[in-house]
Structure 1
Amino acid sequence: MSVTRAGTVVMSEACGDRFVDLLRHGDTRGGVRFRGVQDDQLTADGWRQMQTALADGAWDQVVTSPARRCAAFAEDLAERLGIPHEVWPEVGERDFGAWEGQAADEIPIEELSRFWADPVGYTPPGAEPFQALQARSLVAWRRLLEHDAKRSLLITHGGVIRVLLGHVLGMPASHLLFLEVPHACLSRVRIPARVGEPSLVSHGGIR
């Protein structure tokens, strides 16, 4: 493996390692709000953000959340690259229950404060518990590890990406919100060919 002047990781086929790239969807219609199962589409800027993030990449397969803000882009990308793509419900975003579609300033401050203080232990009214999000995300991760594709791209959501990166890094679940995952954030994980555990190669970047 080598690194270009721009800091892009160039994957060496000779090393035998595999790589999984995690991409969060771009900017979505309706602005920033608690959006889990609410199925809004990307904005034109969100589409461009994702195209920019992936400008220098190459993959053997694409896996995507069923949400339109992920799946529409994934289908288009797979068609352009001539590679297979699969839709996995396990990597859909967390259902935020009564908070769905609401901006932070529309939620009672007492409830919001409890969530920020204890995102694992406090579940918003009617929402999917964190433990359920974590369990299904890790099911998807194990499926990815079982694939023999050299380079996989997973297009998903901030909550799922935090769970997966936290798992790779051995972070306590209570600290996952400290991982910033902005729109079109791209992360790369290396899967060793022989000995060792998956490791984080790169995460995000200033744009």
Structure 2
Amino acid sequence: MRRRLLLLRHGEVDYFPGGRPVPPEEVGLTPRGRAQAEAVGELLQGVPLDRTVHSGLRRTQETAEIILKGRPVPLEAWPEFQEIRPGRLRDLEDPKGAFLQAFSPNDPSDRFLGGERYRDFLDRVLAAYARLLAQPWDTLLLVAHGGVIRALLSYALTGQRGFLPLEVHPCGLSVLDLDGEKALLRLHNLTPHDPLPKDRRTTMEALWEAYERE
């Protein structure tokens, strides 16, 4: 019998409220982000969940708590699933290029926005994924981040470390059915609050525009 892993990106956040950057570990959901999480909670109301894991960052914990409101589902923080960490953006030689090519690194030793190396990010995320698969559960919800979900889907579907050209919207839900380490992608990037998103920008394009305005 296949197990089912539900992968969910956190709800919408604003990294530059009022034009001032907020440290990534402190940013929380916007009102729209909370509404997005509520819509996912309604969708999953009848889905039996054994466990829910989040990254320990405020935005994933808030999303998970909204979805599980009133449900006796164990909630766990796994910091290994935190998003890839940027560096000091003002130190970037080509900030626009760094944003727009963020998930197409030339080499695993390159750094994401001048911060964490892609190699190190994949090491910690995929090690946590292996540890998760080694534990007993039938249906598990993992609330994480766009880069984390892209890395997990890329590895589960191809067996290779890297980043497929997949977009993951705020509160976008993907479903992997797992038979051992073999994965079947049942669903990708379903957004119950907005089934056909109008925005055709990538996440990093939208972040660049927000950073440029700041």
Alignment TM-score, normalising by the size of structure 1: 0.76
Partner of 1:72: 62
Partner of 1:169: 157
Partner of 1:92: 82
Alpha carbons of structure 1 residues 114 and 69: separation in structure 2 relative to 1, 3 Å: closer
Q: Residue type of the partner of 2:15?
A: G
Which of 154-163 and 37-46 deviates more?
A: 37-46
Q: Percent identity?
A: 29
Alpha carbons of structure 1 residues 36 and 61: separation in structure 2 relative to 1, 3 Å: farther
Give deviations 1:15-64, integer Å, cap 9, x for gaps.
Answer: x32100000011103369x9884420001110111221342222111000
Query: Which secondary structure does the structure 1 equivalent of 2:70 belong to?
Result: helix
Q: Residue type of the partner of 1:23?
A: L
Partner of 1:198: 183
Give deviations 1:174-205, integer Å, cap 9, x for gaps.
Answer: 553x111111110001112xx77122111013
Query: Which secondary structure does the structure 2 equivalent of 1:198 belong to?
Result: strand
Give, in angstroms, the shift of residue 109 of structure 1. 3.5
Partner of 1:39: 26
Q: What is the CA–CA distance in structure 2 between the aligned matches of 1:95 and 1:150, rounded to whole Å?
A: 31
Partner of 1:6: none
**Equivalent residue pairs, number:** 186
Cα RMSD, aligned residues only: 3.2
Structure 2 portions without partners, runs of 5+: 197-214
Alpha carbons of structure 1 residues 199 and 97: separation in structure 2 relative to 1, 3 Å: same
Partner of 1:19: 4
Do structure 1's residue 186 and structure 2's residue 173 form an aligned pair? yes
Partner of 2:130: 142
Alpha carbons of structure 1 residues 72 and 169: separation in structure 2 relative to 1, 3 Å: same
Q: What is the CA–CA distance in structure 2 between the aligned matches of 1:163 and 1:35, rounded to whole Å?
A: 25
Alignment TM-score, normalising by the size of structure 2: 0.74
Alpha carbons of structure 1 residues 108 and 199: separation in structure 2 relative to 1, 3 Å: same
Q: Residue type of the partner of 1:169?
A: L
Structure 1 portions without partners, runs of 5+: 1-15, 101-106
Give deviations 1:92-132, integer Å, cap 9, x for gaps.
Answer: 011101139xxxxxx63454466465365431464010111
2:147 paired residue among 156, 159, 164: 159
The 8 Å contact of residues 151 and 163 in structure 2, kept in 1 or not, is answered as: no
Q: Residue type of the partner of 2:122?
A: Q
The 8 Å contact of residues 64 and 71 in structure 1, kept in 2 or not, is answered as: yes
Query: Which secondary structure does the structure 1 equivalent of 2:4 belong to?
Result: strand
Q: What is the CA–CA distance in structure 1 between the aligned matches of 2:100 and 2:89, rounded to whole Å?
A: 14
